[in-house]
Structure 1
Amino acid sequence: MVKDIVILAAGVGSRLRPLTDDVPKTMVKVNGEAIIERLLKQIDAIDSVTTNIKIASGYKSQILKDFVNSLELKTNIEFIENKDYNTTNNMYSLYLALSAINEKNDLVIINADCFYDKAIVEEIVKSSGNYIAIDKGIFNEESMKIKANDSNRIIGMSKTLEDNEYTFVSIDIYAFDSRNRDKIFQIASDIINSGELNSWTEVAIDLLSKDESSNLKYLDMTGKKWMEIDNHDDLRKAEEIFN
């Protein structure tokens, strides 16, 4: 099995200053280990899947590239630089990355500000199908959320979804087969070509979920450790969780 993996890592991480004054957000360390370092090593350790990684960089791009190259991983890693990272959002970074890939393999998309248990990364990379990883154990207003029907098919994705028995928190890691990969790219292209450069990738995934043929479902990661790190409180929590 061959998979293309796009890691969205262009953001500034202003709420983590001064830690991000000199390095990009994904290089912030949790108990001495950079977020991107942990993620790449987890992917690199999966022997049953051949992975081609595209890192969509932006802020402090050269510093990130030098750091990743110093890890000397066996996985093929390329960088796609979003030079307009200050005025665009991560859908634009995804669009640039997918535009640079000629193959049409299955796709994994990962936001580069999450610190994961290795079991989460391994399960999503090895999966066959179309999945959003979710956690049923938490619910908060800040998190991206998905809405499912009673057949576990995802029918919506938004931060504004209300808490109910079919609404769950996304943990920002997604898998798509080659057919839905093409649909995601087309949706993102249409949005960007309309002049909207400041949308989240999840807007495209929400639109994809409206297509019944997408068969987008969730992978339940409840009980496995993860933490999205947006600010200093998140970083403290991550260090406690992964201590």
Structure 2
Amino acid sequence: MKQYRLFILSAGKGTRLWPLTKYNPKSLVELSDGSCILERQVRTAIESGVIDEISIITGYMHDKIEEFIKRFEKEIKINTIYNPFYDMSNNLLSLWVANHQMNERDFIITNGDNIYLADVFKKIQTSKEETIQVTIDYKDDYDMDDMKITFDGDRITRIHKDIAMEDIKAESVGLCLVQGAKSRTVFTGKLIALAKDESYMNRFWLEIFNSLIDIDNKVIDYTEIDVKDWQEIDFHPDIEIVKKIFSAKF
């Protein structure tokens, strides 16, 4: 089975979960039975068999994450990469601090506030030699905070929160697979270029896809997972949702 390096974006302050994030980073917020977001992410990655290396991009309270991951060191290769700009930037800059490691091997990127079923990492695998692949789902209703998607035929044309409701076709999960030396070069090259542009300082990392699509809308592929295969933890009610379904699914 092919295996990947997983990058987890966990540098942010998680202000929407305040006061839970007053003394802990968002990734260490408790979900159920003493577990936390990061623990579920790491356990799921290990159980999938698809991930053999994890790099966590940290910022806010980075020392607590560094200490926490020591418990996994005998099970998987795991490390942190510190983003010193976390308090003045968005997650595109967080991803940029890891760009020097992205050409080493194929990789998967996930938002730091997503948890998945273990088979999701298997579902997004592909036989394509080269791909930059976005993970999507389809929902009956979309809210203002969803990272929404438009299509032209079977090609993604835009990924953004601010898309008119009548134009929305799907949601971006915040999970990406980059496979093949050429694709890695294209992806990291665009990431570096955007990081050098001050107007992208506070942009989401998914702007990489929009920028690539503007050049060639055939460069971005996508794969679908079920809306029930994952859960984002961004607001207080999300924690209660996870607690209710945790034992049955996650």
Q: TM-score, normalised by structure 2?
A: 0.86
C-alpha deviation, 1:93, in angstroms = 0.9
**What amino acid sits opposite 2:192 in the alignment?**
S
Question: Secondary structure in 1 aligned to 2:87?
Answer: coil
Q: Confirm whether residue 206 of structure 1 aligns to residue 210 of structure 2.
A: yes
Is the CA contact 1:161–1:167 (under 8 Å) kept in the aligned structure 2? no
Measure, in 1, the Cα distance between the counterparts of 2:51 and 2:241: 33
Alignment-derived partner of residue 120 in structure 1: 120
Q: Confirm whether residue 27 of structure 1 aligns to residue 28 of structure 2.
A: yes
**What amino acid sits opposite 1:17 in the alignment?**
W
Q: Confirm whether residue 220 of structure 1 aligns to residue 224 of structure 2.
A: yes
**What amino acid sits opposite 2:212 in the alignment?**
L
Q: Confirm whether residue 79 of structure 1 aligns to residue 83 of structure 2.
A: no
C-alpha deviation, 1:221, in angstroms = 1.3
Is the CA contact 1:115–1:238 (under 8 Å) kept in the aligned structure 2? no
Measure, in 2, the Cα distance between the counterparts of 1:64 and 1:223: 28
Alignment-derived partner of residue 67 in structure 2: 66
Measure, in 2, the Cα distance between the counterparts of 1:118 and 1:222: 13
User: 1:99-135 deviations in whole A, cap 9, x for unaligned?
Assistant: 2x174322211001012222223323x3343322222
Alignment-derived partner of residue 170 in structure 1: 172
**What amino acid sits opposite 1:233 in the alignment?**
P
Alignment-derived partner of residue 162 in structure 2: 160
Is the CA contact 2:48–2:118 (under 8 Å) kept in the aligned structure 1? no
Measure, in 2, the Cα distance between the counterparts of 1:157 and 1:66: 35
Structure 1: tracts of 5 or more residues without a match: none
Alignment-derived partner of residue 41 in structure 1: 43
Query: What's the % identity of the aligned pairs?
Result: 26
Alignment-derived partner of residue 140 in structure 1: 143
Is the CA contact 2:149–2:170 (under 8 Å) kept in the aligned structure 1? yes
Alignment-derived partner of residue 107 in structure 1: 107
Q: Relative to structure 2, which stretch is displaced further, 55-64 or 207-216?
A: 207-216
Q: Confirm whether residue 55 of structure 1 aligns to residue 59 of structure 2.
A: no
Alignment-derived partner of residue 12 in structure 2: 11
Alignment-derived partner of residue 190 in structure 1: 193
Measure, in 2, the Cα distance between the counterparts of 1:231 and 1:224: 18
Measure, in 2, the Cα distance between the counterparts of 1:220 and 1:134: 5
Measure, in 1, the Cα distance between the counterparts of 2:86 and 2:31: 24
**What amino acid sits opposite 1:68 in the alignment?**
I
User: 1:153-172 deviations in whole A, cap 9, x for unaligned?
Assistant: 22211111233476211111
Aligned length: 239
Measure, in 2, the Cα distance between the counterparts of 1:102 and 1:228: 25
CA RMSD in angstroms comes to 2.2
Is the CA contact 1:120–1:224 (under 8 Å) kept in the aligned structure 2? no
